[in-house]
Amino acid sequence: MNPIHVIGDYRAQLGETPVWCERSHSLLWVDIVAGKLLRYWPKDATRIEVRDMPDFTSAVLLTEDAGRFLVVSQTGIALYDYESSRFTPLCDWPEARDTRPNEAAIAPDGALWFSSMDVNAERQVGCWYRLAGPHARPQKLLTAQWVPNTLIWWQDEIWFADSLNGCFYRAAYASGSLNIQQRYLVGGTPDGSSLTRDGWLINARWGDAKLVYCDLGHASPEETGALALPVRQPSNCTFGGDTLNDLYITSARDGLRQPQAIDGALLKITTTMTGQPARRFRL
């Protein structure tokens, strides 16, 4: 395997949702607990910008406008103009303030999908939502989740996970709801995932210090290998770089009694796999 590189000195309490921006050749990710957006330019190895975000910002995603990003937070959904640092609210958080957003991604049709969870991860009150454009309202798709994670579209099906249940789900979207087709128990705690162009799902296993490779071409998410990591709590991953074969991995220090110096770091490894470009929210 190629060496794993530690990027920068920032150590996140809860690093999450790495997104590669092809237009700017930069990586964005968030620290949910600290309320920060981080942005890294690989061609300028010392350049990492840190911006303040609203409470419990779980994702900053791409839009059709290169200068504006979609922010998913406990305050609601907003557009963020990076140059001016100005927020334009789109809609309020659709639940009580004792929940927060978790996973978020842009669907193939340009809609935003995002999940909610109990702030303390103690109640089974999480939901999945869909927001189809800047003038729409969030549409509730599925209820009774613990910690909804991973959101992958592959061959007309949707894959997601519930971390506390230790499960992956294969589902279909139809008639305004997310319909579960199959449930798969997996080992450990599945967190965020990335997908290669040929259908390999790469899943971060929280607490297990590894990434797991799954082939979605079978009847179940068959685990075919794993990559050991130097961080205890990997949280998510995405492909970036000019050829989309650099795998960036976020991690967290949150909950560790004795975190090591590297816990919470952003990691990078150059692979022989090729990822998929990040989708953009349709304005």
Catalytic (active-site) positions: 191
Q: Which of 31, 2, 91, 24 is nearest to 252 (CA)?
A: 31
What is the DSSP secondary structure assignment for residue 3, as one 8-state letter? P
11 is in an annotated binding site: no
The span from the CA of 50 to the CA of 11, in Å, is: 12
The span from the CA of 283 to the CA of 281, in Å, is: 6
Q: Are 152 and 166 in contact (CB under 8 A)?
A: no
The span from the CA of 207 to the CA of 224, in Å, is: 20
What is the DSSP secondary structure assignment for residue 187, as one 8-state letter? S
Chain position carrying tokens 């000019």: 242
Q: Are 247 and 273 in contact (CB under 8 A)?
A: yes
Degrees, nearest 5: CA angle 282-98-140: 40
- Dmax (CA) for the chain in angstroms is 48
Q: Which of 92, 203, 97, 71 is nearest to 150 (CA)?
A: 203
149 is in an annotated binding site: yes
Contacts of 231 (CB under 8 A, 6+ apart): 209, 249, 251, 260, 262, 263, 264, 265, 267
242 is in an annotated binding site: no
Query: What's the order of all strands across the beta sheet hosting 222-228?
Result: 189-195, 200-206, 210-215, 222-228
Our separate counts of H helices and E strands in the chain read: 0, 24
100 is in an annotated binding site: yes
Binding-site annotation: residue ranges for a divalent metal cation: 16, 149, 191
Binding-site annotation: residue ranges: 16, 100, 102, 149, 191
Binding-site annotation: residue ranges for substrate: 100, 102
